[in-house]
Amino acid sequence: MKWKSTRIKQTPDIEEFGLIMSARSPFPTPLTNILWQRGITSLEKARSFFQPDKSNLYDPFLMKGMQEATDRILKAKQNHEKIMVYGDYDVDGTTSVTMMCLFLSDWGMDFEYYIPDRYNEGYGISFKGIDYAIKIGASLIISLDCGIKANDKVKYANLNQIDFIICDHHTPGNELPEAVAVLDPLQSDCSYPCKDLTGCGVGLKLITGLTQVFSLAGVPLPEADYNPFERFCDLVTLSIACDIVPIRDENRIIAFWGLQKIRTNPSPGIAAIQSLSTTERRWDINDLVFFVGPRINSAGRLGSAKDAVEVLLGKSDILTRLAEDLHEANDERKNIDTDMTAEALNMIAKDSEYPERSTTVLYKKEWHKGVIGIVASRLIEKHYRPTILFTFSNGKLVGSARSVVGFDIYQALESCSEVMVQFGGHKYAAGMTIIPENFELFRNQFDDTVKKTITADQKEPVLWIDYDLGFNDITEKMLRMLRYIEPFGPENPEPIFATLNVKVTDYNIVKEAHLRLVLQHQNISLNAIGFNLAEKFMTLNTDTLHITYHIGVNQWNGKNIIQLSLKDIKSAI
């Protein structure tokens, strides 16, 4: 892995900014430089960045289709129509469905929700789902986190006198479904300023607009101070974290306040999952990504995502048991993940043509459909290239794709669209379906496309270092100041620091893969942990290292102890 620095050379402008930031209390120079790197170049910008203002949330009616969507739902309320809420089976989909169900319940509306079965129906809107809407007498379907390419399914619903409102954030096709309204900021003629919303984020804009429309129509508020943002920002924050969308603009405002709610007054379902943690946590974005999210996803991967919605709704009498079931399902998913990763790596090792390829494309009939995306990400950690894993489902091959930094895998898939039954997704993650006999054709065409378009910089992972530190720079005050830059995520990554010539004074291997170290520099000792770095450390065979890391804390018995979270290590000799 290459190490590169993003640090900017100190200039008079940066020095002046540092003095302004230190007017009341000394502000660490490294953090001043990092803020400048990220476009925070004035006190006013810093204040807005540190404490995002909810008044800067955009008017929902800037989104194309919002007036049509809110008018149709108001009509449904006035006419006592039954609504079906339809969502995907991942975290974004289940949080979206949960939020919409809670909102409709708050306003006393008649509804049911529907989550497709990953194995029998696959991703997105299904004919089976619409048949269920017909069965229950629904006259309106609100889809969340899916539907933007469901042209034939929406047409089928229309033929059965069911209207559709689509809330999505995926890239639209050339033709939009014939819905009453399509809410998707990625529509080419949609002027909504924030293009990075999750499906749940689009849903939040819809219920914010609905609250305004209901109020103007004289519908009594559920409570005097009813505010959909305050009520649901924790659910939307969970979707932002787990869908790995840029935490900037409106997403930063939502995530900042959503984390406050998660830490102080979370929704009952989120609280039930939090209670399963055996360690103290700050409940930051990483905790949502690596603890809460997998437990929700495990329901859709190994069983029914409806279990996750039941937990998130927080209304079940057996909420704690349901949350524990998600916990156990996640443990099972980990075991399947480990076995599948080992199988995939073994297939790569036996493929004599693999070194000549620019991609990893593998298929095994028995692989678990709910875990192939996770394993694709694992393979990128070992073999850094765009990766797709396929399994067999309902007579076809279903694939899950993951990409490397900077490479648009969705665009590459568009070049192979004629050999796929369907596909959809984002720049870094996508799903597709192909017929079995097209596997080799697709594999070769995809590889040829990537080979022609991938750049040299995208073929090797790069670790971008924000600033070089000595251990004397790493203080509790710096850690407090560092937290002003949170929440971290895409477009605002957690700063990575480097320190050279660090002495290892003690170490031990944890679970055969991880590393705990005591490190010394400038006569200061700090603890460090390096996940999956044990093997590399043992091959270096030295007690003097160059290290890169995040600065964090180890919370134990109510005490916070500074701990470095290692990203990579190199021999200093």
pLDDT bin (cut points 50, 70, 90) of residue 303 is low
Q: How open is the CA angle 296-297-299, to the nearest 5 degrees? A: 75
- Which amino acid belongs to residue 95? T
**212 and 265 both lie in a single domain:** yes
**373 and 292 both lie in a single domain:** no
**444 and 506 both lie in a single domain:** no
Residue 4 within any structural domain of the chain: no
Rounded CA separation 359/482 (Å)? 38
**102 and 174 both lie in a single domain:** yes
**447 and 517 both lie in a single domain:** no
Residue 376 within any structural domain of the chain: yes
List the domain range (segments joined by +) for residue 426: 351-459
**232 and 189 both lie in a single domain:** yes
CATH code, domain carrying 513: 2.40.50.460
Instruction: Output the average pLDDT for the chain.
Output: 92
**431 and 509 both lie in a single domain:** no
Q: What is the largest CA-CA distance in the chain?
A: 76
CATH code, domain carrying 283: 3.90.1640.30
Q: Could you say which of 403, 432, 459 is where a domain stops?
A: 459
Residue 3 within any structural domain of the chain: no
CATH code, domain carrying 423: 3.10.310.30
Residue 317 within any structural domain of the chain: yes
Residues 386-427: tens digit of each pLDDT: 999 999 988 999 999 999 988 999 999 999 999 999 888 778
Residue 166 within any structural domain of the chain: yes
**444 and 480 both lie in a single domain:** no
What is the tally of structural domains in the chain? 3
**200 and 135 both lie in a single domain:** yes
Q: Could you say which of 276, 302, 321 is where a domain stops?
A: 321
pTM value > 0.95: no
pLDDT bin (cut points 50, 70, 90) of residue 230 is very high
**454 and 474 both lie in a single domain:** no
Residues 119-167: tens digit of each pLDDT: 677 778 999 999 999 999 999 999 999 999 999 999 999 999 999 999 9
**126 and 244 both lie in a single domain:** yes
Residue 486 within any structural domain of the chain: yes
pLDDT bin (cut points 50, 70, 90) of residue 285 is very high
- The torsion angle over the Cα atoms of residues 538, 542, 544 and 549, rounded to 10 degrees, is -10
Given the DSSP bridges, would you call strands 163-167 and 462-465 parallel, antiparallel or unpaired? unpaired
Label residue 4 exposed, middle or buried (CB < 10 Å: 0-12, 13-18, 19+): exposed
Rounded CA separation 161/155 (Å)? 10
pLDDT at residue 241, rounded to an integer: 93
**224 and 303 both lie in a single domain:** yes
Residue 545 within any structural domain of the chain: yes
Residues 444-455: tens digit of each pLDDT: 999 999 999 999
Residue 45 within any structural domain of the chain: no
Q: Could you say which of 412, 435, 459 is where a domain stops?
A: 459
Rounded CA separation 467/568 (Å)? 15
